[in-house]
Amino acid sequence: MSVTIGTIGTLLSDFLSKKAYTQIVILVDQNTKKHCLPKVDLIMPAPKVIEIKAGEKHKNIETCQKIWQAMTNLNLDRHALMINLGGGVIGDMGGFCAATYKRGIDFIQIPTTLLSQVDASVGGKLGIDFNGLKNHIGVFTLPNAVLVDSQFLQTLPSLELRSGFAEIVKHCLIKDQAKWKTIKILDLEEQNLPDLIAHSIEIKKAIVAEDFTEQGPRKTLNFGHTMGHAVETFFLENKSKKLLHGEAVAAGMIMESYIGYKKGMFAEESLNEIEEFIFAVYGRIKIDKADFNAIIALSLHDKKNKGKVVRASILDKIGSCQYDIPISKVEMKKALEYYVGG
Ligand SMILES: NC(=O)c1ccc[n+]([C@@H]2O[C@H](COP(=O)([O-])OP(=O)(O)OC[C@H]3O[C@@H](n4cnc5c(N)ncnc54)[C@H](O)[C@@H]3O)[C@@H](O)[C@H]2O)c1
Ligand SMILES: [Zn+2]
């Protein structure tokens, strides 16, 4: 699998020139149909399109059934290609549908959000949410290509851009102290995104290449995600306020840095640096004390756990992360209290 960065027209024509497919279908949601499909239409006039409703709440088995049905109605055979044009929801779910349709057909990812460009499109994780549990059902299957063009981001809502930026911050914190020093002094608007996208993809690719099935170092990519996922899931199930993935992960990075600090693994000044930057970019999510136990209970479903022990990836210094660190309910509660300012 290759991840290539450039102009979508050139990237897609190059890919399509290499292999003849019996049919090509493009999966979009209503937003990427409007904003992104026209950029791809130029290379592939009148493509076959499957459209689904946008949003995480549609990343489920019911939508998969609609996609598989549409693929069946189009008579796609095993030599067809599926192009997933959209954010992480389209990529994860479209990839999952392609990887399972007739035991798997070729598919490529064209990520159109910052989050999907720097994270979701690299590493072969595909899947859907199930009964409120994030990415509970899924497979590891690599796409045939990932084509990244930062031009798509021009139409992305600013909150979505900020959400994706959290994964860039994460990549710097776990692997590249020098890059962290360059981003932490800038506002989001001042960041050099094309450069950071390439940087993040390189970091994630290198980590995934070392450990595809996540037995070891790949777990460091989950920094901020143990508590972040729990908070995200809690809001998805219980709150009318929408919480974006990256916003939850940004909060999770503060909480897990605090846990590292309390364990004596991580310096207080580094915790302060991270906290200052994340609060400046993301603000503080309002979490009620009464909801702490429910959030902690959700962390038990985390796929990184072994048995009933919650394991997290914890920084030992900026640019370096350890994994499989057991964390207790008490530590999680203290981290939530610290985050909300209690
Ligand atoms: N597979 C992985 O390794 C991995 C890693 C991280 C996250 N994820 C998953 O990714 C998902 C989140 O991804 P996301 O943040 O991209 O969400 P998303 O796919 O829901 O996209 C966010 C919103 O932006 C819209 N949009 C997309 N591209 C646009 C564009 N260019 N212009 C205007 N609007 C556009 C979408 O329609 C949607 O409303 C989650 O489900 C998460 O679990 C997967
Ligand atoms: Zn993430």
Condensed to tens digits (0 to 9), the pLDDT of residues 93-117 reads 999 999 999 999 999 999 999 999 9
Structure tokens at 61: 């088995």
Please identify which residue in the block is written with the tokens 């991580």. 266
The predicted pLDDT at position 304 comes to 65
CA of 166, nearest ligand number: 2
Which of ligand 1's atoms lies nearest the C-alpha of 95? 1
- Determine if ligand 1 sits within 6 Å of the CB of residue 247: no
- Determine if ligand 1 sits within 6 Å of the CB of residue 23: no
Structure tokens at 45: 């006039």
166 alpha carbon to ligand 1 midpoint, in Å?
A: 13
Helical segments of the chain, H only: 8-16, 30-35, 37-41, 61-73, 88-100, 114-115, 158-175, 177-183, 193-210, 225-238, 245-262, 268-282, 292-299, 329-340
Closest CA to 226 of 249, 193, 246: 249
Task: With 0.85 as the threshold, say if the pTM is over it.
Answer: yes
Determine the residue of 3, 33, 114, 115 to mutate for testing ligand 1's pocket, defined as the one with the most ligand atoms within 8 A of the Cβ atom.
Answer: 115
- What is the overall mean pLDDT for the chain? 94
The predicted pLDDT at position 1 comes to 65
The predicted pLDDT at position 146 comes to 97
Residues of the chain with pLDDT under 50: none
